[in-house]
């Protein structure tokens, strides 16, 4: 990799790797396979980048790390990227960049355009990410959005990191909850026809059940009045609710490649086939009239019942069968996005996967903490069964999809989250998504203002980056250059919040620079009396606009051109 590749960090890593190899050859040493990392020092005085390669190889060379560092330093070739290389105890190799590096970074951003930030971590590996997967028992409430947005954003980031990603929604249409759904609709249907019938104790009480009942009356009249079997009611309600869920997902910019029904596993014999495989592997035994899975030997806290003494399969068996189906479809990596209430479920699911003979390391379970809604100073509990919730549709209609998406990505999955409704409604710089989108809109407005002033940006080749000498300008440039690293980090950790944190930092650096120009005219972006400087600053704004757009698009949020 050379300085012309545009990723400065990767270029420096390559320089150090080659220098280390040269030093090893001079010492008559064969290097083992190893990863050479370049990091950004937390202390600015140590330069822009640092390598600990010398300390990594102390046992290999059997020398003082300072001596090794000096040997590596001497073999790093001259480069327009590097202004200075220094050695610091106990053996760090510190790099201070040449101002020319700014120009390389800006040119790379503008040359790659919408592709800037894409990295090849995945090498085309096939990934199946299952997320959302709420049971079709009622409209989605705002708490469901964390799963949906987290899963979709991980999928987007993995796509940008070179993986081939498939999104899947798995829904339970075969359990007790669905039976209760059918009983609920049956009662509301008969009530809509004027009958005085009791509502099931475990039924779904929201007004949406009354609305579905009215739809059923409109379609079927009273033809189902005497029907005792609930399956027709269950199917009608589930079909309608799945359509509502899909509409909510599309409103958030989320599209699933597959909708997978639990009932299909039973219908197609896949649950029985998974049981047969477990039996063939010697993973089942009988006790107390029930059939047990030997899950404890795979790290679960105890063995699990898979068939109860009455012959009914437990809820884990369809999940094991579903994951057998996933593995058999040929995916390299499986990802499940699960709510915090599933935390204890992960070990038994992984045990089931191992009992089938599959590699559980290929299954990644991302467990996120549940959401608390804060509205008008009051915490609102979210319950589908009690019918007390703010629907996701209402949240999207009132707040906007961009706000909902960004807010649910501001914290790591394992962090508790309070969704502050009032802050989400605030159209000021206090609102993080407004703060970032406004930075992009400001970039667009600067180009519009330049046009009004008769200033034409002549392109990246006409803007001399050496003129961008202000500390605030250099801060923006160095933050821009980090974007591919943040995409890589978000992909490797499967944590999209790294992107929102980065975008807020980048927007903050730009707003600081912009504000400084309102106080000091020499720092303004558009200066007709300084055409060369104006061209350089417009190049900076163009690159900034591109990276903000790339980052926002990556997590499914609109880059606004005016606000």
pLDDT at 1: 37
Contact 471/512 with Cβ under 8 angstroms? no
| pLDDT category of residue 382 using cuts at 50, 70 and 90 | low
Question: Going from the N-terminus, what domains does the chain have, and what CATH number goes with each?
Answer: 3-98 (3.30.1360.70), 176-232 (no CATH), 428-554 (1.10.730.10)
Confidence of residue 3 (pLDDT cuts 50, 70, 90): very low
Q: Are 275 and 317 in contact (CB under 8 A)?
A: yes
Alpha helical stretches, state H, 161-227: 176-192, 207-220
Whether 60 has a pLDDT exceeding 50, the answer reads yes
Q: Among 236, 129, 105, 112, which Cα is nearest to 183's? A: 236
Strands (E), 75-183: 82-88, 92-97, 126-130, 164-171
**Residue 74: what pLDDT?**
96
Q: Alpha carbon of 500 to those of 495, 508, 551, 555: distances in Å?
A: 10, 12, 8, 8
Q: Which pLDDT score is estimated for 337?
A: 98
In 3D space, the residue among 95, 70, 69 whose CA is nearest the CA of residue 80 turns out to be 95
Are the C-beta atoms of 461 and 453 separated by less than 8 Å?
no
pLDDT of residue 2: 41
Has residue 532 got a pLDDT over 80?
A: yes
Q: Is 345 exposed, middle or buried (0-12, 13-18, 19+ CB in 10 A)?
A: middle
User: Is-contact 430 460, C-beta < 8 A?
Assistant: no
Task: Answer yes or no: is pLDDT of 176 > 80.
Answer: yes
CA distances from 217 to 190, 205, 485, 488 (A): 9, 18, 57, 53
The answer to whether residues 91 and 51 touch, using CB atoms and an 8 Å cutoff, is no
Q: What is the pLDDT of residue 226?
A: 86
Inter-CA distances, 366 with 3, 41, 284, 407, 412, Å: 37, 30, 28, 19, 11
The predicted-structure confidence for 481-506, as pLDDT tens digits, reads as follows 999 999 999 999 999 999 999 999 99
**Higher confidence at residue 7 or residue 75?**
75
Mean per-residue pLDDT, 251-278: 97
User: Beta 333-339 vs 126-130: how paired, if at all?
Assistant: parallel
Average pLDDT of the chain, as a whole number: 93
In degrees and rounded to multiples of 5, residue 464 shows phi and psi of -80, 110
pTM exceeds cut of 0.75: yes
pLDDT average, residue stretch 539-558: 98
Contact 419, 374 (CB under 8 A): yes
Neighbours of 68 (CB within 10 A): 26
- List the beta strands (DSSP E) in 106-181: 126-130, 164-171
């Amino acid at each position: 990799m050379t300085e012309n590749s545009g990723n400065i960090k990767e270029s420096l890593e390559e320089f150090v790797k080659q220098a280390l190899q040269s030093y090893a050859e001079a010492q008559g040493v064969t290097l083992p396979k190893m990863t050479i990392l370049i990091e950004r020092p937390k202390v600015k005085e140590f330069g822009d980048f640092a390598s600990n390669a010398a300390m990594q190889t102390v046992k290999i060379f059997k020398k003082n790390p300072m001596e090794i560092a000096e040997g590596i330093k001497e073999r790093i070739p001259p480069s327009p990227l590097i202004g200075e290389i220094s050695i610091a105890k106990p053996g760090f190799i510190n790099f201070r960049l040449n101002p020319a590096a700014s120009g390389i970074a800006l040119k790379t951003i503008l040359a790659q355009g919408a592709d800037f930030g894409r990295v090849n971590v995945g090498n085309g590996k096939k990934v199946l990410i299952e997320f959302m997967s709420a049971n079709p028992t009622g409209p989605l409430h705002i708490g469901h959005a964390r799963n949906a947005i987290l899963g979709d954003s991980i999928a987007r980031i993995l796509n940008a990191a070179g993986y081939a990603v498939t999104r899947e929604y798995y829904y339970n249409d075969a359990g007790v909850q669905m039976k209760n759904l059918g009983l609920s609709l049956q009662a509301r249907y008969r009530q809509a026809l004027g009958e005085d019938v009791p509502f099931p104790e475990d039924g779904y009480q929201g007004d949406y059940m009354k609305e579905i009942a009215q739809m059923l009356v409109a379609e079927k009249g009273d033809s189902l009045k005497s029907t005792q079997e609930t399956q027709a009611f269950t199917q009608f309600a589930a079909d309608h609710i799945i359509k509502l869920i899909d509409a909510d997902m599309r409103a958030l910019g989320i599209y699933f490649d597959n909708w997978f029904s639990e009932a299909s596993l039973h219908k197609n014999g896949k649950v029985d086939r998974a049981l047969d495989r477990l039996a063939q592997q010697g993973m089942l035994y009988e006790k107390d009239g029930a059939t047990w899975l030997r899950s404890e030997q795979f790290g679960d806290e105890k063995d699990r019942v898979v068939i109860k003494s009455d012959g009914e399969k437990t809820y884990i068996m369809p999940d094991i069968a579903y994951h057998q189906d996933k593995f058999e479809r040929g995916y390299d990596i499986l990802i499940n996005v699960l709510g915090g209430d599933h935390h204890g479920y992960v070990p038994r699911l992984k045990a089931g996967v191992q009992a089938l003979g599959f590699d559980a390391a290929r299954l990644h379970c991302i467990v996120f903490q549940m959401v608390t809604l804060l509205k008008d100073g009051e915490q609102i509990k979210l319950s589908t069964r009690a019918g007390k919730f703010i629907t996701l549709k209402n949240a999207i209609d009132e707040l906007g999809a961009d706000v909902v998406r960004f807010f649910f990505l501001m914290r790591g999955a394992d962090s508790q989250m309070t969704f502050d409704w009032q802050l989400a409604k605030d159209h000021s710089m206090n609102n993080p998504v407004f703060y970032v989108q406004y930075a992009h809109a400001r970039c667009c407005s600067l180009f519009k203002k330049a046009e009004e002033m008769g200033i034409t940006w002549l392109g990246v080749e006409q803007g001399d980056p050496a003129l961008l000498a202000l500390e605030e300008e250099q801060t923006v440039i160095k933050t821009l250059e980090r974007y591919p690293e943040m995409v890589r980090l978000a992909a490797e950790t499967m944590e999209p919040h790294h992107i929102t944190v980065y975008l807020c930092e980048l927007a903050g650096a730009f707003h600081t620079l912009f504000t400084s120009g309102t106080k000091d005219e020499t720092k303004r972006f558009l200066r007709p009396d300084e055409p060369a400087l104006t061209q350089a600053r417009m190049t900076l704004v163009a690159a900034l606009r591109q990276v903000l757009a790339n980052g926002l698009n990556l997590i499914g949020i609109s880059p606004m051109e005016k606000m």
